[in-house]
Chain A
């Protein structure tokens, strides 16, 4: 039932209403993007509780900063930058915590380990994850945005602040490098 209500209110209308003090209108935005936000946070944290906390915190922070949002652009691209910063800070903080306390070793696992809590496990997925984990951050980010978080090219361009025309070429070279890594792993099997 909620879905039908969400479709009727655009991001821009919801943001304008929020700025007039109608907090309930923010629900339209949260309902629309909560799954993408959660799964993106999950890719960073590999833990569903932390992903929930962080994605909700990102929505709260975005709400507080709605005045800075340029409503001619995509909401999710703008929101993604808030979420990403929050996740990176969280991961860095907990990496330090792990060093301070050995009993906390499993809180955060690096990209190298297959994240059982993120994806259903199968052999092919493990190889792809391994190949992804060996890419540089820029390549990995754009692939994750497109293939795991349903970004459109326009959203990627807005989020990464690059021209729309560069999205295709960035993706091409990133995927090309991913294919190379995959071939390397497949050859080793």
Chain B
């Protein structure tokens, strides 16, 4: 094993990711190479330093209700899907009723009917999507009262 290989393996040794064979080989190299041993000491100290950086603990109550909040999001997410489908059907039906005479008139060209139909569906989908976004952002944006 040369120094270059050994230095890369130092990481696996440090993080406990080497198999026993690799570990033995690396130890043999470290016994005979002061430069790699010095490097090993530096990395070991660094690892100790980073593991001494302690995260500020979160009060237990937040962990207790963590799953509930994720579950609520999942349930409400499904609710929004149904809301969107329902709103699109209702608006689409209302629109069709408003322009029923136009759509039923055989004198109007089919291309025009198709154009108006697709345009209306597009508008309705965009409207429902914007409406849903506004309602959701209002619900989750805690900075909504800040005047920008």
Contact = CB atoms under 8 A, between A and B. Distances in A.
Interface of A: 23, 26-27, 30-31, 34-35, 38-39, 42, 48, 52-53, 56-57, 59-60, 63-64, 97, 100-101, 103-104, 117-120, 124-125, 128-129, 143, 146-148, 152-153, 168-169, 171-172, 175, 178-179, 182
Chain A, interface SS category? helix
A179 B46 contact: yes
A38 B148 CA distance: 29
A128 to B, nearest CB: 6
Given A42-B55, A118-B56, 12 more contacts: A26-B74, A30-B67, A53-B140, A60-B73, A64-B74, A104-B146, A117-B56, A143-B50, A146-B15, A169-B8, A172-B10, A172-B11
A56 B15 contact: no
A119 B53 contact: yes
A147 B63 contact: no
B73 A56 contact: yes
Main secondary structure of the interface of B (DSSP, over half): helix
Contact of B58 (A38, A64, A120, A171): A38
A101 B143 CA distance: 11
Given A60-B74, A128-B49, A118 B55 contact: yes
A55 to B, nearest CB: 8
Contacts of B12: 153, 168
Interface of B: 7-12, 15, 17, 42-43, 46-47, 49-56, 58, 62-63, 66-67, 69-71, 73-75, 77, 140, 143, 146-148
A113 to B, nearest CB: 15
B148 A100 contact: yes
Contacts of A147: 47, 50-51
B43 A175 contact: yes
B146 to A, nearest CB: 6
Contacts of B54: 119-120
Contacts of A26: 70-71, 74
A30 B148 contact: no
A120 B15 CA distance: 23
B40 to A, nearest CB: 12
B146 A172 contact: no
